[in-house]
Amino acid sequence: MEEILSVKNIRKSYGDITVLDDVSLNVSTGEVVVIVGPSGCGKSTFLRCLNGLEEIQEGQVILDGKVIDTEKDDLFSIRERIGMVFQSYELFPHLSVMQNLLLAPVKVKKRNKKEAEAQAQELLERVGLLSKKDSFPRQLSGGQKQRVAIIRALMMHPEILLLDEITAALDPEMVREVLEVVLDLAKEGRTMIIVTHELAFARAVADRMIFIDGGKIVEEGTPEEFFDDPKTDRLKRFLHSFLYED
C-alpha cells in the first residue's frame, strides 16, 4: 500500500532531556497504528512532533513524500492534513455544536457555508448527534463532546487523524460510544495513529501495534503477535500491569 507518512530517526529533547530517541515509523494509507506505553514515555510528544506542534532536533517527518519543515511550512495547512483530537475536547464553550464545527472550515478556510453545513449535518447524523446541533458544549456529556471533537477534525478532510487518549477523561459508560465512532472510521479506511490505554479496543482496531518505553519504540507487531506473544520483558511487564491477578 502507498506510504502516506514516514518518520525517520527523530529525536526530540526538552533542554538536556531526550524525550524521543531515534524513533522511526512508516504509515501506509488506510493503516491504523496504535501506540501504547507507560505514562511519560513520550506518546503525546511523538504525536505532536508529527503535525508540527513540536520542533524536532534530529530526523525527519515526511508527509506524502515531502519533508515537513517546521520553520518554513505553513503549519496550519499541515495541521489540516494531519488532524488531531485530544483528551480534553477543546470545544469553544460559547459556540453551539454547529458553530464549533463550522468555525475552522467557514470562518478560517472560507469554505462555502451551505456545503460545510451539509457536511456537518451528515457527520453529526453519523455519530448520532444531529439533534444536538444547536446545543452548547456544557449541555453535552463528555462522550458527546468527544464525538463532536472527532467530527470537528473530520470537517477539515484530514489525510491522517491522530487521536491522543481521547477516552482517558471519560466516565466508563461513555468510552464505548466514542470508541465505536473510531472503529467505524477505521472500517471506512481512515489512516489513523491512536494512543490509548484501552487494550481491548486497541486489539480490535489496530493493523499494527507499537510499544514505546523511555522514548524509544521497544516492540511492534500485529495485534496477535503483540498481545499473545510479546517478545520483550518490558512489553510483557506493561501488558501484565493491566491484569488484576498476580
Residues within the interface to Mg ion (CB under 5 A): 43-44
| Contact string (CB under 6 A) for ligand ADP, positions 1-20, x = contact | -------------x----x-
Which range in 43-51, 92-100, 112-120, 126-134 contacts ligand ADP by CB under 6 A? 43-51
Nearer to ligand ADP, 41 or 202 (CB): 41
Considering only residues 174-233, where is the footprint of ligand ADP by CB under 6 A? none
Q: Give ∠ CA 31-159-212 in degrees, rounded to 5.
A: 50
What is the 3-class SS of 203-219, one letter each residue? HHHCCEEEEEECCEEEE
Helices 142-154 & 113-126 angle (0-180, nearest 10): 140
Which range in 36-44, 64-72, 148-156, 176-184 contacts ligand ADP by CB under 6 A? 36-44
In angstroms, what is the minimal distance from the CB of 168 to ligand ADP? 10
Nearer to ligand ADP, 40 or 189 (CB): 40
Nearest-angstrom CA–CA distance, 67 and 89: 29
Q: Which of 4, 33, 44, 170 binds ligand ADP (CB under 6 A)?
A: 44
Residue written as cell 501488558? Answer: 239
Q: Which of 2, 16, 39, 243 binds ligand ADP (CB under 6 A)?
A: 39
Q: Which of 1, 9, 24, 40 binds ligand ADP (CB under 6 A)?
A: 40
In angstroms, what is the minimal distance from the CB of 33 to ligand ADP? 15
Q: Is 41 in the site for ligand ADP (CB under 6 A)?
A: yes
Q: Is 45 in the site for ligand ADP (CB under 6 A)?
A: yes
In angstroms, what is the minimal distance from the CB of 86 to ligand ADP? 11
Burial category of 26 from C-beta neighbours within 10 Å (exposed 0-12, middle 13-18, buried 19 and up)? middle
In angstroms, what is the minimal distance from the CB of 93 to Mg ion? 24
Strand 191-195 and strand 82-85: the pairing is unpaired
In angstroms, what is the minimal distance from the CB of 156 to ligand ADP? 23
Binding region for ligand ADP (CB under 6 A): 14, 19, 37, 39-45
